[in-house]
Structure 1
Amino acid sequence: MKRTTPAIVTGALPRVNLMPRAEIERRERTTLARRWGIGLLAVVLVVILAVTGAFLLKWAAQQRLAADQLRTTQLLTELASLSEVSQALQLRAELNGFRADAMVSDLSWSELFADLAGALPGGVALTGFDLTTGAAPATEDPATEVGLAGTLELRSATPIDIAPAVRALRQVPGVTEIDPLEVTSQLEGGEQRTYVYRLDATFDQTLYSGDFAEEATG
């Protein structure tokens, strides 16, 4: 059996670590502290980036919210202006309706009162009235619809038999019904007594002139 002899290396200096153990440990601690510092710095940077990103997202959300609120305010302002326009249009429609009603119910008041006064007996005067015009014609027969309704006031210096006066007034064209309501008397000018007769009166729509009917419905 052949025996091997270890080779002897010559010409190389032996390597001996002459650094004290304390210095080695200090360097290891320094290296470890540096690594921890780098890691901590990286964590801080990550946190800063995360906080900055969150702040930017919050700022962007606030900007969008402010823009949405501004848009909402503008829309509310526009709606308010449209509401005013709607109210104005509604008022205009109502006024047009009133105008149409007034035009279709036009009649000759002076002619009506002249006819009523002409039917009264001597010494009796038509001194007052409280009459309201009726609605627009709804049928083709104006004699069946109410054109005026309210009260009439008659005065005389002496008592009269109201029944003949009522019958005479009922013959006036356009009169539908005349009925006595009350009779009162009052002193005027000291000893002068005046008798006041209030009558319930209804007239049909034959009194309407129809002069503005086409314009009102046009």
Structure 2
Amino acid sequence: MFIGDHLIIDTNNGVLIHLVPITNNFNPIQLNELQQKYLKEDKQLLHLWEDVWLTKKEQVLIRLNSLLSKNVGFHGRKTKIIEIDTLATKSFLEINHLQGFVKAKYAFGLLANDELIAVATFSDARPMKLKGSNYLSAELVRFASKNGVTVVGGLSKLIKHFSKLVQLLYHLDVSENKLRYLLKDNANSASIIAEAIIERQLQKIETRKAFKKTD
């Protein structure tokens, strides 16, 4: 159906797809306003760029199947966390993530029956002095599950694992640098916050960035 100059497909499942041709006169503000309009109706509007559909069709369909709840659910508690190398990470993300692989400091996977069904990658932790001397920030760079599978609680499980790892590394680093950092009790422990910037990724998904890599 056409809404003004916008060609929109209604999936009848609370998700609408805005088809954006390669040549268009839309600006980001207009696209955002269109999304907000449907958000008020409890509907999710996704912008699908023509060139992304032509070059990343399989990944787009993977994403749509997930949004339309067509995936098979698998409980994260039944999985095992493993650290994975760059080759395995790249192979998995190139197939299952719309934006593909990008280098990251850490990569972890979830195994189920000896099969890799989800992968998350994180940046290195960096101190943020404006938020406190013991505040570290790290970024969730990529997260993807295997095509056709939704790992319930999988992302939170990986973030918790990463947070514990970062906290341990931070304590070691501070000790080795002889900064007189003392762990007396939990209240005085470093406040390690692995900031999973999911909002940024969701914004990419919902403003062209779900279906087009911009960086």
Q: Same fold (TM over 0.5)?
A: no
Pick the TM interval, shorter chain.
Answer: under 0.3
Greater fraction of residues in helix: 1
Larger gyration radius, structure 1 or structure 2: 1
Length-normalised TM-score, structure 1: 0.21
